[in-house]
Structure 1
Amino acid sequence: MRVAADVSPLELADYQRAVRLLLRHPLITPSFPDRSALPLVRRWAAQLRADLPEVLGYRLLTTADTVRLLRVHDRLDATMPALTRTDRPFNRRRYAYLMLTLAALGRSGTQISLSELADAVAADASRIDGLGMDTERKPDRDAFVDAVAWLERRGALALADGSASAWVNDPDRAEALYDIDREIVGVVYRPSRVLQHVASITALLDTGQGLAQGQATMRRAAARKARRLVLEQPVVYYEQVDESLHGQLRSPSLAEDLERLTGLSVERRAEGVAIIDTSGRLSDVRFPGGGTIAQSALLLAARIATHCGPGNRRNPPPLLPAPTEAERLAEAAARIDAALPRANVLTELAQHDGFEGAPPRESAYPFLADTWLRRTMRDLVGRYGAAFGAVWRTDPDRLLGEAVALLAKLRLVAVVEGGVLALPLLARYRGVTAEVKRRTEQTTLFEDVK
């Protein structure tokens, strides 16, 4: 099957824009992410329903006012969290309040006051060990309103009167009234399995295990998984994935299908394969990018690449193996499973769908110790600090933590105990140079002019 078979060459760019929009925002409503999104995606709904299941194994659900992409998840991914009103990642409490808010809205009518919704969520939270919600405490009110604001931005709630911010600061005097869009509430959360039947987070992932399948079916499933890996990760390293996928990752049809689907270029090197999105049309993070964290991460990446390059033969860093995908999944699943409630799990129906597969070949990568990273970041702050924000200049260790987290998110480094491993894609930034642009001094209105 040819991707976008019924799309004319003149309309292909418009179709690809709809694909990128849907992949970046799996839930699209009349107001989210903007008012032009829903008409664009609905225009191509028929072609999307044909292409997305065949290429990626995804399903597309459409209603009168929503488009919902049901993705297949092969791995646990913490790189795209829900964000608060101040663009900070949700913590566990906020996620819990978000789920309880959705449950309360599902039992409500067409309108609800913020205090009434808060009382319903607090009642449910009080029955969960270690959670709770006290509307007398401002931190709890802040966390709850962050969940409400997340739903409001997507159109599940619409403010009819009052102010949520005022209620957070003074719940005795302020109030807010919301209209409920029950259609959007119903499609926001669509788990692939009944959660009471799940004993491990891995049960929500596609592990490729199940009923016996024919050779052709298994080959198509492996091809879809390979495309998903390339599409959803900054880079896929051959050495860190199951060997059964290597042939699919190297297949010319993978690059052809993804390039025609998304309009982006697929780059294949000896170590792996990646989609190159220099314009930021699909990626949620642009790199290189603006801001102190992105700039310091780029400078740090250049230093690491130089230190690990062929020019450093006198004191090369030691080589250590990087964690495989299976090892990372097992570690993340163990952390999440440790917090799962056991009281309501139907153990007779529960399954533990572990991630299994042939172990990949082991490769070693340059290891940079924490002491080297701290020393390097302090040197970068000393050289280029004039271009950094003042809060970061005084706390280079915190800046290092944020920069390393960004590099790890982009799969440029792998964080291990005691330091990081430099991954092959990092070599792309070898030789990066920087020029500090100092701020121009300006005369103030109260300064004497001579």
Structure 2
Amino acid sequence: MTTAAHDADERRMAARALLANPVLTAYRHAEEFALVRRHASALKPAFGRLLGYALVVESGFARLIKAPLPAQAPVRPARRSSGSEFTPRTYTYLALVCAGLLARDVGEQVLLSRLVEQIRADAATARITIDDTLAERRDLVAAIDLLLAWGVLTETDGTVTAWGERREEALLTVTRGLLPHLVFRPLHPLDRPDLLWVADPDEPEQPRRTLRRKLVENPLVHRGDLSDAERDVLRRERTELTRVLDESFGLTLEVRAEGALAYDDDAQLTDVVFPGTGTVRQAALLLIDALIEALQPSPGTEVTLDGRTLPGVLAPWHVVDDELAKLAQVHAGVWRTDVLDHPLQLRDEAADLLKAVGLCTVTGEGLVVHPAAARYRPAVRLAPPATRANRRLDDDAQQFQTPLFTDGTDEGGEPT
């Protein structure tokens, strides 16, 4: 490999690391951070030009500051270590912890008990009521755990978990320089909260950049969620777009009549694993096949939802429940009993997962199954007659289809 090719490969690896973990620290991500720092001079303008993202690289951390995604994008909430989503109360504690760490008398290290005192004082000043209950302590611990995962905090002596359970003291080391870069833009003196969701209110968005951003960040981009200018870029500049996504981020672009997908063959960039192991992921995967089999949608099927026309077929909730019940009966011996005993919980978790990866839209009437869901349907492969020559062949009777949308047409409607 030539020096130029080696550098390009390292830059792509560094860019992928930042997309997967927008906060990299020398302590928690030594190898990735070293790559980012080595190629910072090239990565900063590249992220700005291609995606409109700002990259901050300091001696101990790198922070990729992403622009807000549009309202149609899947929600990506902060999560506890258990996988459950942050509640509004947990987000409140997260803000209070960050504010407490930025207090003038907090240095590079702080006792957890001292930080809690600061949090209580800040909460009182802001007229926020906090209690010393177990539930409140768990919310506080979840907020601090997130900062530990990001590398903002490090447990130097003792653990946050031990404090939450037994009030044992813990000493935390603070990466203070990273704290001001956690939010997209300063919250003060911002007097219009709605501007927090605008990429840059003073600079008009470029359709090439917004299209790249949607493809890089979203599991699936529906054509109806693209602006006219973005659809024009997708149609006219598909070859160049394919090249840029591959060379810059190692993503493969797939375009069909209903939308587009930039997927990662190595499955390293996604924050939502699908397909995968576990009851909910298996149930969601099998539910796709069951719904398509039950509804038999034809190419070009559309659903009108809140004035928007979406490609796909509506699966009413009673159909979803019936198919999930059948699947639960078949797989009762291996699926988790806690969700089997609560079918509505299983339905909601499976629907949320399919929504997160863009394969379904959740409505009051049921699930709108997007045509791209067909790419995950299992295709039966008949085994050849057993002979000595083929007995060593893989005997798995199922394989996933290649990543094609259901009608097999490109964005112009021509067969692929």
> Into which bin does the TM-score normalised by the smaller protein fall?
0.7 to 0.9
Cα offset for 1:126?
A: 3.1
Following the alignment from structure 1 to structure 2, what is the Cα–Cα distance between the partners of residues 429 and 148?
37
Following the alignment from structure 1 to structure 2, what is the Cα–Cα distance between the partners of residues 199 and 377?
45
Could you say if the C-alpha distance between residues 424 and 310 of structure 1 is closer, same or farther in structure 2, counting changes exceeding 3 Å? closer
Q: Contact 1:302 / 1:432 at 8 angstroms: preserved in 2? A: no
Question: Structure 2, unaligned stretches of length 5 or more?
Answer: 382-395, 398-416
Q: Contact 1:29 / 1:184 at 8 angstroms: preserved in 2? A: no
What's 2:358 paired with? 411
Question: Aligned pairs, how many?
Answer: 377
What's 1:229 paired with? 214
In the superposition, the TM-score normalised over structure 1's length comes to: 0.76
Following the alignment from structure 1 to structure 2, what is the Cα–Cα distance between the partners of residues 293 and 148?
28
Q: Contact 2:304 / 2:310 at 8 angstroms: preserved in 1? A: yes
Q: Is it true that 1:87 corresponds to 2:56 in the alignment?
A: no
Q: Contact 1:289 / 1:295 at 8 angstroms: preserved in 2? A: yes
Could you say if the C-alpha distance between residues 50 and 384 of structure 1 is closer, same or farther in structure 2, counting changes exceeding 3 Å? same
What's 2:316 paired with? 369
Cα offset for 1:364?
A: 5.3
Which residue, 242, 259, 272 being the options, matches 1:255? 242
Q: Contact 1:236 / 1:272 at 8 angstroms: preserved in 2? A: yes
Q: Contact 1:321 / 1:362 at 8 angstroms: preserved in 2? A: yes
Q: Is it true that 1:72 corresponds to 2:52 in the alignment?
A: no
Following the alignment from structure 2 to structure 1, what is the Cα–Cα distance between the partners of residues 255 and 310?
18
Letter in 1 for 2:130: M
In the superposition, the TM-score normalised over structure 2's length comes to: 0.82
Could you say if the C-alpha distance between residues 377 and 109 of structure 1 is closer, same or farther in structure 2, counting changes exceeding 3 Å? same
Q: Is it true that 1:133 corresponds to 2:130 in the alignment?
A: yes
Following the alignment from structure 1 to structure 2, what is the Cα–Cα distance between the partners of residues 431 and 322?
29
Letter in 1 for 2:275: P
What's 2:407 paired with? none
What's 1:56 paired with? 51
Aligned residue for 1:197, secondary structure, equals coil
Cα offset for 1:97?
A: 1.0
Following the alignment from structure 1 to structure 2, what is the Cα–Cα distance between the partners of residues 310 and 169?
53
Cα offset for 1:390?
A: 2.5
Q: Is 426-435 or 109-118 further displaced after alignment?
A: 426-435
Letter in 2 for 1:409: A
Following the alignment from structure 2 to structure 1, what is the Cα–Cα distance between the partners of residues 232 and 21?
30
Q: Is it true that 1:201 corresponds to 2:194 in the alignment?
A: yes
Following the alignment from structure 1 to structure 2, what is the Cα–Cα distance between the partners of residues 69 and 60?
5
Q: Contact 2:250 / 2:264 at 8 angstroms: preserved in 1? A: no
Q: Contact 2:12 / 2:250 at 8 angstroms: preserved in 1? A: yes
Q: Is 261-270 or 80-89 further displaced after alignment?
A: 80-89
Query: Percent of counterpart pairs with the same letter?
Result: 26
Q: Contact 1:271 / 1:424 at 8 angstroms: preserved in 2? A: yes
Q: Is it true that 1:183 corresponds to 2:177 in the alignment?
A: yes
Following the alignment from structure 1 to structure 2, what is the Cα–Cα distance between the partners of residues 422 and 83?
26
Cα offset for 1:127?
A: 4.1
Following the alignment from structure 1 to structure 2, what is the Cα–Cα distance between the partners of residues 78 and 295?
20
Question: Structure 1, unaligned stretches of length 5 or more?
Answer: 1-5, 313-317, 325-360, 437-450
Q: Is it true that 1:275 corresponds to 2:269 in the alignment?
A: no
